[in-house]
Amino acid sequence: MLTHPQPHIAMFSTAGKGHLIPIIELARKLRRLHGFTITVAVADAGSQSLKNLFPTDPGIIPVFLPPVCAPHDFPENALIETRVVITVLRFIPGLLQLLRELHQSARLSAYVADLFGAFTLPAVKELGIPAYLFYSSGAKALSCAFLYFPPELEPEPEPLDLSGRALDTGLDGEAQNFQVIVAMCRKFRLAEGILVNSFPDMEPDAFRFFAEPGGSGPVPPVYPVGPLVRAGSGNGGDDDRECLEWLDKQDDGSVVYVAFGSGGTLSTVQLKELARGLEMSGRRFILVAGKPNDRLRHAQYFTGGGERDAPEPVEYFPAGFIARTAGNGFVLRRWAPQIEILRHPAVGGFLTHCGWNSTLESIVHGVPLIAWPLFGEQEMNADLLCRELKVALRFRVREDEDDDGAVDGEEIARVVRELMEGEEGAEVRRRTKDLREAARGALGEDGSAIKALVTAAEKWKPMEKIGTM
């Protein structure tokens, strides 16, 4: 008779919500379309905000790996990418132990790691498990990894050893970070395939590069499985209901939503200027703002930035701001039901840090953007949105700008008004709607996302075995 062993896949995600959310969405789709059982290993001890992201589906099994280091363990000058990589390297022994157990009991069909999990690929391949990469950001950033770091170049010295201890290289934080990124990008080539959370109409030039990579060396097959976005983000709490009830009272397209992701942080001066600009614009707004940080733009990355007991940053706003904007604005703490907000008809614009998850969520729901990148690949995403796709506006940088780099309130007010009611804003809205339709097409029955996922999934399904009764 024919037997069909149920395929079991292991996935690995770093702890940041920006990485874990799309991994979970990929698991949901593989589970729904192909019936895989999926174990998701997370490089985190399991904060409640991360545990709450997982579905109740028994076929998607979260495993929070035992803690291995604390934030004070990092090199003092380490930037965000270096900190994440150090964390990943220290989780590798626990991850390998889990994979050995799963492979022995379930014969894993494949292993899929997020981009920082590229450092796990060599060890996983030694276990005989087919190893893939899930690139949760855009194809443009991925293409740069292959274009600028081809294998024939002399390898840069790596500032980290395999145990995840930082070596004393004498490098400053930026130089050390660069070496970490080079080492990570070169490990992308070890993957048997790369799943990308994007679609061809979003990044045509990047996907053409992967079709004909030219002199960049061998490139694994690339599968455009996006856009992978959540169906919802709220949990029905009081903050959710109050915010959405407020939106229900607003006119269609009249509200600008302002949020900087789970990790993004503004300076004290910038938060004040943002509040001042929103007030000056005279437009209705939802502002998600946490405690500012004058040193780091990613201060909330490791804490998640989403705990509901986070203090409201009222003291950091201009005096009287909350009272004066009580009718026009709605201020939330570090967390918001973003999907429910973006799909609400009252929302006509999104001022965003250009994180890839937020970018895709906005495109899927047809909401035009104002780009305000903070760290990581967000600057590249902003360039794609503003210059290539023209679905976003951006603030002008003044030549006499102060050393603190803050965008002033007048410029914020000008761009908000332009997006919501100006001629340039109207063109951005039109192009955003066109891109929304392309995203829906990618997700359709004959779309690029379904076809790419089928191609990858077929490689992970065990061959049918013929036996007799």
Single-letter amino acid, residue 394: R
DSSP 8-state class, residue 269: H
Measured from the Cβ of residue 162, the count of other Cβ atoms closer than 10 Å reads 13
Sheet order of strands, 369-371 included: 329-332, 284-288, 255-259, 347-352, 369-371, 392-394
Residue among 114, 298, 344, 353 flagged as catalytic: 114
Of the candidates 24, 12, 33, 1, the one whose C-alpha atom is nearest the C-alpha of residue 460 is 33
34 given a catalytic annotation: no
CA dihedral 30, 31, 36, 37 (to 10 degrees): 130
Of the candidates 180, 159, 178, the one whose C-alpha atom is nearest the C-alpha of residue 168 is 159
Residue among 19, 298, 344, 365 flagged as catalytic: 19
C-alpha 328 chain-centroid distance: 30
Q: Which residues contact 101 (CB under 8 A, 6 or more apart)?
A: none
- Contact 367/340 with Cβ under 8 angstroms? no
Residue whose pair of structure tokens reads 């990148």 in the numeric block: 373
114 given a catalytic annotation: yes
DSSP 8-state class, residue 258: E
Q: How far apart are CA 354 and CA 356, in angstroms?
A: 6
β-strand partners of 48:
none
C-alpha 317 chain-centroid distance: 28
Q: Active-site residues: which are they?
A: 19, 114
